[in-house]
Amino acid sequence: MEKQQGNLFYIETYGCQMNVADSELVASILVDNGYRQASDIDAADLIIFNTCTVRQHAEDRVIGRISNEMSRKKQKPHLKIGVIGCVAQRLGEKLLEVNAGIDFVLGVDQYKSLPMTLRFLDSWGVKHCSDFNSEQSYEYHSPLRSGKHNAFVTITRGCDNYCSYCIVPYTRGRERSRLASEIVREARQAGEAGFRDITLLGQNVNSYNNRGATFPDLLEMVNDVESIRRIRFITSHPKDLSARLISVMQKSNKVCEHIHLPMQSGNTEILKRMNRGYTARHYWKLIEKLRDAIPNIAITTDVIVGFPGETEEQFDDTMEMMKRLRFDAAFMFKYSVREGTEAAGFENEVPEEIRLERLKKLINLQTGITTEKYQQQTGLTKEVYVEGVSKKSTAELSGKTRDAKVVVFPGDSSLIGSFVNVEITDAIGWTLKGRQLSKE
């Protein structure tokens, strides 16, 4: 059903890696239905915004961005604008009412309905909003991957944890685990297509379970896929990270020495009110176990400051924990109220200026720790997966270590896509500099 004209699409993606993976899925659904990917937004006949609503700021930004694009319709009356993802799921039909030129709205589990939605729009010119109820699966679509070397493979959709601050269980729905055989097939296909670094994706990968296959089982299966060289996974949840998982990580040679393990707070009372299901002590012991089993493991985290009722002392517990645990890096956020979540009804909101002040303090502390951690890498030899030419200089290549650090080193572009041993000579900000030792 190849179309003659007006079939170029462009997807702009916001938010987490799950959205990146979903955009790749949407791209493949569109290509299977006769659409083609536009080289840039100006060339597009169809613009799709895949949106994020995890914090209010993210939502406001994307709505502003969509409104800006509305003027394109003056020069190109046939242009269609669609909104998908978590803002679409949250606001639904209301998005058609804001004056942003939006033609259709599809929720996070409605992407298979996209071709039909577009046909409907073409034939009748009717704006469309999905019913947001169905839970579609995407087993028969292989994502149209946006990267060249790293591939995301979705293993679960949705989340059942209901952390009290979080909107995700409401936008992405109940947790569903894909079939292990499907995941392995998709990983193998990606590996054979040259993606040597695979990231298994889920809101909480540790609770993966399908017909008795658990996450450690899945890791072992993917570890056996010949064409893959590196395996990563995000995001882990401290309450579900088992001793068996640590042991499988230790034994599986392809599983990289990195874990992203959101702590959220260093205070047990706050963790309890966040409904996180673990204590500060449990978290800290978990980090010890991970470091005992895998001494050179890089650990990154997420932290929220200014949760309702957070006292100065409770915030200090978070500061102390960051000093004690010395994360390689952290994503730090000020609490943002999400309508409909449990915490939206909590009293004692922390004033905005105090949230900001705490955030600045925490970022300051962590920046120092991250800088030191990166400095400590000098003199080490690291295996680098060369992913491209450096953004700053074409004489340099850029790649990633197993422990998720970016390395830049002088080298020839023929090395892109290969694995090279690099001696780290310096750390500039959060980029390591090095010199090539050998190519494998």
Residue 18 or 63 having the CB closest to ligand 5AD: 18
Q: Which of 237, 258, 382, 405 binds ligand SF4 (CB under 6 A)?
A: 237
Q: Which of 14, 111, 152, 165 binds ligand 5AD (CB under 6 A)?
A: 165
Q: Judged by CB under 6 A, how many residues of this single chain contact ligand SF4?
A: 10
Largest CA distance in the chain: 65
Q: How far is the CB of 101 from ligand SF4 (least distance, A)?
A: 31
Residue 236 or 370 having the CB closest to ligand SF4: 236
Residue 220 or 342 having the CB closest to ligand SF4: 342
Q: Which of 169, 277, 309, 388 binds ligand SF4 (CB under 6 A)?
A: 169
Judged by CB under 6 A, the chain residues 50 through 69 that form the site for ligand SF4 are none
User: CB within 8 A of 267, min separation 6: which ones?
Assistant: 280, 310, 314, 315, 317, 318
Q: Which of 53, 203, 264, 401 binds ligand 5AD (CB under 6 A)?
A: 264
Q: Note whether 283 binds ligand 5AD by CB under 6 A.
A: no
Span of 74-82, 331-339, 377-385, 389-397 interacting with ligand 5AD by CB under 6 A: 331-339
| d(C-alpha 311, C-alpha 397), whole Å | 47
| d(C-alpha 99, C-alpha 116), whole Å | 24
| d(C-alpha 112, C-alpha 106), whole Å | 10
Q: Note whether 55 binds ligand 5AD by CB under 6 A.
A: yes
Span of 245-253, 329-337, 347-355, 377-385 interacting with ligand 5AD by CB under 6 A: 329-337
Residue 141 or 334 having the CB closest to ligand 5AD: 334
Q: Note whether 52 binds ligand 5AD by CB under 6 A.
A: no
Peptide bond into 235 cis (omega under 30): yes
Residue 138 or 165 having the CB closest to ligand 5AD: 165
Give the residue nearest to ligand 5AD (CB).
302
Residue 54 or 66 having the CB closest to ligand SF4: 54
Q: Note whether 155 binds ligand 5AD by CB under 6 A.
A: no
Per-residue x/- marks for ligand SF4, 181-220, CB under 6 A?
----------------------xx----------------
Residue 55 or 405 having the CB closest to ligand SF4: 55
User: 263: closest CA among 312, 219, 304, 215?
Assistant: 304
User: CB within 8 A of 292, min separation 6: which ones?
Assistant: none
Q: How far is the CB of 361 from ligand 5AD (least distance, A)?
A: 16
End-to-end CA distance of the chain: 45
Q: Note whether 17 binds ligand 5AD by CB under 6 A.
A: no
Span of 20-28, 313-321, 335-343, 424-432 interacting with ligand 5AD by CB under 6 A: 335-343
Enumerate binding residues for ligand SF4 (CB under 6 A).
159, 161-163, 166, 168-169, 203-204, 237
